[in-house]
Structure 1
Amino acid sequence: MVNDRGKIKWTSLMLPEHVEMLQQMGREIGKATPPIMDEQQLEELEQKVRYIQVGKTKASMMYRKGRNVENASGIVTGLKQSEQYLLLDTMDRLYPIRIPFDHIIDITLH
């Protein structure tokens, strides 16, 4: 006999529609639609990207990753204007994060 008093007890009492609705809600938690940025905000981001000095600039970034919004802090170790991305080296990851320019939502320079 299983002593689980959580999902196992209540799943048999739920209608299939309710189970499906709860699963859908679980998939949507944590997903956020990225904000729509106007020209002025895009210009400010572009100026911040131009100000970045590779290997010296510490930055905190908010960026889109799929449908989610991620936050990362670290040192910008690479900036590829031709391919439109930058590399952010964080302390908690082995490799730098490759962030495309069009996925960046906000940059805070330190």
Structure 2
Amino acid sequence: MVNDRGKIKWTSLMLPEHVEMLQHMGREIGKAKPPIMDEQQLEELEQKVRDIEVGKTKVRMLYRKGQQVENAFGIVTGLMQSERYLLLDTKDSLYPIRIPFHHIIDISLH
């Protein structure tokens, strides 16, 4: 005899509308809205990007990837000012990650 009193107990009591609503809520939890930054915060981020030495600077970065917020740690291998993105080489990825400047939420230099 199965001793599970979790999902099995409540499954028969849930209406299809409730199941659909719970699934929708689960999808919305992981989504992130872009933070609203004031002029001073934007200037601080731009200054941090200018302080990065390509190939030498280790950074911890918080950035938006689609609707998710990602955290990455690595070395900046490229800084393309004209195209407004940087390349971040991490241990987890085979190729450097291309991160547009407007997706960056926070950078801390290490």
- Shift of residue 7, structure 1, vs aligned partner: 4.5
Given residue 98 of structure 2, which amino acid in structure 1 is its aligned partner? R
- Shift of residue 10, structure 1, vs aligned partner: 4.0
Q: Which secondary structure state, in structure 1, belongs to the residue aligned with residue 18 of structure 2?
A: helix
What residue number does 1:106 align with? 106
Which TM-score applies when normalising by structure 1?
0.89
What residue number does 1:94 align with? 94
* Number of residue pairs matched by the alignment: 108
| Percent of aligned pairs sharing the same letter | 83
Find out whether 1:72 has 2:72 as its counterpart: yes
Find out whether 1:14 has 2:19 as its counterpart: no
Distance, in Å, in 2 between the alignment partners of 1:107 and 1:14 is: 45
Find out whether 1:61 has 2:61 as its counterpart: yes
List per-residue Cα deviations over 1:61-108 (Å, max 9, x = no partner).
000111111110000000111111000000111111100000001000
Q: Which secondary structure state, in structure 1, belongs to the residue aligned with residue 27 of structure 2?
A: helix
Root-mean-square deviation (Å): 1.6
What residue number does 2:26 align with? 26
- Shift of residue 47, structure 1, vs aligned partner: 0.7
Distance, in Å, in 2 between the alignment partners of 1:88 and 1:73 is: 8
Structure 2 residues without counterparts, runs of 5 or longer: none
Which TM-score applies when normalising by structure 2?
0.89
Distance, in Å, in 2 between the alignment partners of 1:53 and 1:62 is: 18
Structure 1 residues without counterparts, runs of 5 or longer: none
| Aligned partners of 1:34 and 1:69 also within 8 Å | no
Q: Which secondary structure state, in structure 1, belongs to the residue aligned with residue 30 of structure 2?
A: coil
